Chains A and B, each alone.
Chain A
C-alpha cells in the first residue's frame, strides 16, 4: 500500500509540471503588456523632456525586473537561425514582438537592430529642440517614430519614413539647418531611411529555414516562478522570488499586492460556502437516495427521480438569476432576501441571511447529483448475495437496508467526494459572480478578465493539486474500506 501511494505521488510531479507549463505558455500567448498595465497609472504624459522619456524607460525596466519579466520565458527556445540570442533583452513587449516579425520577414538581425537603434536615436534627438515654431512638426515626427516601433508592414513603414522626410524637407527646416539640433534630426532621419533600405536590400530569409535551439539555463521566468531565484537555505536578497514550491506566489499584475494575501482573503468564502453546501447536500441526499432505492419502481420513486433529474439539469445561473429577480427586488412585491454581497461581516445572522440564496443555488445541483449516485449505489448492493442471505435469514427489511446495504453502498459516495471538488469550484465561479461574493470563483474570473496571470495561476494550480490529492485519497479510502481492492501487484 505504501509503495502504491509513493508511486502515485511520484507520478503527480510530472502531471503538475505539465499543468504549470501549459498555464505558463497561456500567459505568454496573452496579448497586452503587464508592465505597461502596472505603469499606466503613474506614467501618463511626460512634459516632453528627454529626461522624462529616459526616466520612463528606466521605470519600465526596473518594474519589469521586479516582476521578473526581463528574463527569457523558458529554459530553451526553438527558433530560426535568424533569431538573435538576446532578443529578450529588448525591454518592451510590443517592440520585441515587432522585431520578431521583422526577423521573420527579412532574416537579418544585425541590420534590423541598427534600424531599430536609428528609430531610437531619431526619437531621442527630437527632445533637444525647444523652438516654438517647430513644435507641431516635432510632435508629428515623434508620433511617427512611436508608430514605427509597432509596424512591420513594408508599405506602412515606407509611408511613415517618407512622411518624416517630407516634414523635414519643407523649406523652413532646410533654411534653419544651421541650428545644431535640427541638423542632428535631419541626419538621423536620413540614417533611419538608409538603415531601413539596408534591411531590405540585405535580406537573408534562408536563415529562417534553419532551426536553432537557444538554451537559457536557470535564468528564466518559468524557473523563477516555480523554484524561485533566492538561494534555498540562505537568506536571499530583498525582492528575490522564492518560487511556487516555497509558497511564494508572486505579485498581482494589477496592483502589486502579494497573490498570497489575495487568495487567503478569497479562499475563506469559497470554503465556507462549499462546506455548508456539501454538508447540506449529503444530509438531504443520502436518505432520499436510500428511500428511492428501497421503493424502486413505485410512483414515489419515479416522481422523486424525475424531480432529481430535473434539478440536476437545471443550470444554477438560471436559478440564481430567477431568484435575484423575483425575490430580492421590489419589482414583484417579494423582496425577501438581499440581492448580493455578504452584508455585515460582524453579524453572524446578517451573514447567514446573505448566504442563504448562494448556498441554495449550489446545494440543489449537488444534492440531485449525490442522491442519484446513492440510489444507484444502493441498488447495486441490494443485488449482492449477502443481502439475499440476510433476507433468507429472515432479518427485518430495516435492518438489512440500514445495517448491511447502507454501509456498503457508502463507499462510492465517500470516494465521490474527491471528484466533487473541481466540479464545485467551477460551479461556485458563476454563483459567486452573480451574488458578488468575494471568493475564489470571483477572484479567478476577475483575474481572467484582467489577464492577471499570477492570481489565475495560483488558483488553477491549487485546484489541480487539490483534485489530484482528492483522487488519491479516494483511492486509498477505497482500498481501506473495501478489503477486496489491492493496488500492489502480486
Chain B
C-alpha cells in the first residue's frame, strides 16, 4: 500500500519536471539531438565502414559488418576466402555498401594529401565520394566524425557513471552525517584502520607482481586481476567488521566517537577543485600507455566534485524533513534511511550536474586528443581530426567540421543542463 502511494507521488513530481522541461523548446530540441548522437554512436560501424553490409560472393551470402563483431569477440572466424580480403577490390555478385563506404582509419591512397570536399576526387562514382574531404593519409573525414561520435558518447557516459558514483556516495555521506552524527565505537575504528592496512597490503602490495604482469598482457587481464584485488580487500574489511561485535563487550572499546565526515569530504573536494583539472589529468595520463578508456576513467575520477557538492546541499535540506524524522522514529538504522529514503529523494538535481558534466567531459577529451595526449595512434577522435588542421591551413574542412561537431555536442548538453535547471531548481539558475 505504502509503496503504491510513493510511486504516485514520484510520478507526479516527475510529471512536473517533465512539463517544465518541455516548456523549454531549445532543451527539447537538444534532447532530440542527443538521440541522434546516440544513434550515430551505436551504429557507427553500419554507417561508415570499409566492409559491405551485405554481399554475395562466390555464390554465398555474407554480412561482413555484423560478422566482424562476432570475430572481434572471438566467437567465430572469417571463412578462408575472406580472411585477408581487400573488400573494395573484390568482384561481388551482389553487394550493399554502408552509406559511407570508408572506415575511420582506412587510408585511401588515391585521395590522400588533403583532398577537399569540392576538389576533384579520384573516385569511380559519387557513391565513393569523400563528402567532407580527407586528411593527409587519405582518411575520410566524415567517417572519422561518425566514429568519433561513438568515442565522445562513451566518454560522456562512462566518465559520468564513475563521477556520479563517487559524487553521490561521498556527497550523501557528507550531507547526511555532517560532522557529529556518524558515531563509531573505538574498536570499530581501530579494526577498520588495521584492516585497511592489511587489505591494502594483501590486495595490492603483495599482489603487485601479478598486477604488473597482467597489465602487460592486456587491459582486460588487468581489470580481472584488479577485481580480484578489490574482492580480497573487501573480504578483509568485512572480516574486520565482523569481529567487532564480540569485542564490543569490553567496556572501554565500546565508547563511541563521532567521525567528522563532512570536514573530511569537504577537504577532499577542496583538494580536487584546487588543482587545475586539465593539468591534473595531463599529469596522470602522461605516465601510462595511451588508452581512451583510461582517459574516460580519469575524467570521471576527477570530475565528481560538482555532483558531490550538489547532493551534499540537497541532503542537508532533506535530512531535516518530516519523513526522515518518521523513519528515524520507526527505528530504522542510518544506512537504511540514507539508501532507501534520503538519496532517492535528492537524486533529481544531480541530473543537472550530469548534463553539464557530459559537456565538460567531452570538452576535456577533445582538448586532450587535440593536444595528442592519451589517445592511441589508430583511434580517430574529433579532437584529433581538428588537430590535423594545424599542420595544413589549406585544409579548411579539417578545421570546420570536427570543431563544429564538438561545439554542437557541447552546446546541446549545456542546453539540456540549462533546461533541467529551469525545470528542477529554478533558483539555481546562474549560480
Which of A159-167, A271-279, A356-364, A424-432 participates in binding chain B?
Answer: A424-432
B414 touches A377 (CB 8 A): no
Is A317 an interface residue, CB under 8 A from the partner? yes
B386 touches A463 (CB 8 A): no
A29 touches B287 (CB 8 A): yes
Closest residue of chain A to B212 (Cβ to Cβ) is: A101
A310 touches B411 (CB 8 A): yes
A315 touches B279 (CB 8 A): no
Q: Please name the 5 residue pairs, one residue from A and one from B, whose CB atoms are nearest each other, closest first.
A: A376-B430, A318-B403, A104-B209, A426-B278, A467-B274
Question: Can you offer 30 A-B residue contacts whose CB atoms are under 8 A?
Answer: A14-B267, A15-B274, A26-B284, A101-B209, A101-B212, A211-B197, A211-B198, A309-B415, A310-B411, A313-B414, A315-B407, A315-B410, A318-B386, A321-B389, A321-B399, A322-B400, A325-B399, A326-B399, A376-B431, A422-B276, A426-B279, A429-B278, A429-B279, A429-B282, A448-B286, A448-B373, A459-B279, A463-B279, A464-B274, A468-B274
Is A44 an interface residue, CB under 8 A from the partner? no
Q: A331-B394, A460-B283 are in contact. List 17 more A-B contacts (CB 8 A).
A: A78-B205, A80-B205, A104-B208, A309-B414, A313-B411, A318-B407, A324-B390, A325-B399, A326-B399, A425-B276, A429-B276, A429-B279, A430-B370, A448-B282, A448-B286, A463-B279, A468-B274
Residue-by-residue, is A324-349 near B (CB-CB < 8 Å gives 1, otherwise 0)?
11100101100000000000000000
Report B402-430 residues with CB < 8 Å from chain A CB: 403, 406-407, 410-411, 414-415, 418, 429-430
Report A447-486 residues with CB < 8 Å from chain B CB: 448-449, 451, 456, 459-460, 463-464, 467-468, 471
Given known contacts A318-B403, A322-B400, A309 and B367 CB-to-CB distance under 8 angstroms: no
Closest residue of chain B to A11 (Cβ to Cβ) is: B267
Provide the bound-state CA to CA distance between A211 and B283, in Å. Answer: 31
Report B216-270 residues with CB < 8 Å from chain A CB: 267, 270
Is B87 an interface residue, CB under 8 A from the partner? no
A322 touches B279 (CB 8 A): no
B407 touches A314 (CB 8 A): yes
Given known contacts A315-B410, A317-B386, A322-B403, A444 and B282 CB-to-CB distance under 8 angstroms: yes
- Across the interface, which residues of A come within 8 angstroms of B403, CB to CB? 315, 318, 321-322
Is B326 an interface residue, CB under 8 A from the partner? no
Task: Bin chain B's interface residue count.
Answer: 35 or more
Contact of A26 among B287, B399, B410 (CB under 8 A): B287
Closest residue of chain B to A79 (Cβ to Cβ) is: B205
Provide the bound-state CA to CA distance between A37 and B410, in Å. Answer: 40
B407 touches A460 (CB 8 A): no
Is B366 an interface residue, CB under 8 A from the partner? yes
Contact of A430 among B212, B371, B389, B407 (CB under 8 A): B371
Closest residue of chain A to B418 (Cβ to Cβ) is: A309
A445 touches B430 (CB 8 A): no
Provide the bound-state CA to CA distance between A331 and B415, in Å. Answer: 36
- Across the interface, which residues of A come within 8 angstroms of B275, CB to CB? 19, 422, 460, 463-464
B287 touches A451 (CB 8 A): yes
- B421, chain A: closest CB distance, angstroms: 10
A329 touches B393 (CB 8 A): yes
- Across the interface, which residues of B come within 8 angstroms of A208, CB to CB? 206
- Across the interface, which residues of A come within 8 angstroms of B92, CB to CB? none
Is B359 an interface residue, CB under 8 A from the partner? yes
List residues of B whose CB falls within 8 A of some A CB. Answer: 26, 197-198, 200-202, 205-206, 208-209, 212, 267, 270-271, 273-280, 282-284, 286-287, 359, 363, 366-367, 370-371, 373, 383, 386, 389-390, 393-394, 396, 399-400, 403, 406-407, 410-411, 414-415, 418, 429-431
- A179, chain B: closest CB distance, angstroms: 42
- Across the interface, which residues of B come within 8 angstroms of A456, CB to CB? 279, 283
Residue-by-residue, is A292-319 near B (CB-CB < 8 Å gives 1, otherwise 0)?
0000000000000010011011110110
- A151, chain B: closest CB distance, angstroms: 13
Provide the bound-state CA to CA distance between A377 and B428, in Å. Answer: 11
Given known contacts A79-B205, A101-B209, A433-B371, A321 and B386 CB-to-CB distance under 8 angstroms: yes
Is A41 an interface residue, CB under 8 A from the partner? no
- Across the interface, which residues of A come within 8 angstroms of B411, CB to CB? 309-310, 313
Closest residue of chain A to B210 (Cβ to Cβ) is: A104
Residue-by-residue, is A363-383 near B (CB-CB < 8 Å gives 1, otherwise 0)?
000000000110111011000
A322 touches B430 (CB 8 A): no
Which of B283, B284, B383, B407 lies at the interface centre, i.e. has the most chain A CB atoms within 10 A of its CB?
A: B283
B270 touches A468 (CB 8 A): yes
Closest residue of chain B to A30 (Cβ to Cβ) is: B287
- B149, chain A: closest CB distance, angstroms: 16
Provide the bound-state CA to CA distance between A463 and B275, in Å. Answer: 7
- Across the interface, which residues of A come within 8 angstroms of B279, CB to CB? 425-426, 429, 444, 448, 456, 459-460, 463
- Across the interface, which residues of A come within 8 angstroms of B367, CB to CB? 315, 317, 430
Closest residue of chain A to B287 (Cβ to Cβ) is: A30
- A250, chain B: closest CB distance, angstroms: 17
- A85, chain B: closest CB distance, angstroms: 16
- Across the interface, which residues of B come within 8 angstroms of A448, CB to CB? 279, 282-283, 286, 373
B200 touches A78 (CB 8 A): yes
- B194, chain A: closest CB distance, angstroms: 11
Provide the bound-state CA to CA distance between A208 and B270, in Å. Answer: 38
Given known contacts A325-B396, A377-B430, A460 and B276 CB-to-CB distance under 8 angstroms: yes
- Across the interface, which residues of B come within 8 angstroms of A78, CB to CB? 197, 200-201, 205
Is A408 an interface residue, CB under 8 A from the partner? no
Provide the bound-state CA to CA distance between A41 and B367, in Å. Answer: 33
- A324, chain B: closest CB distance, angstroms: 7
- A285, chain B: closest CB distance, angstroms: 13
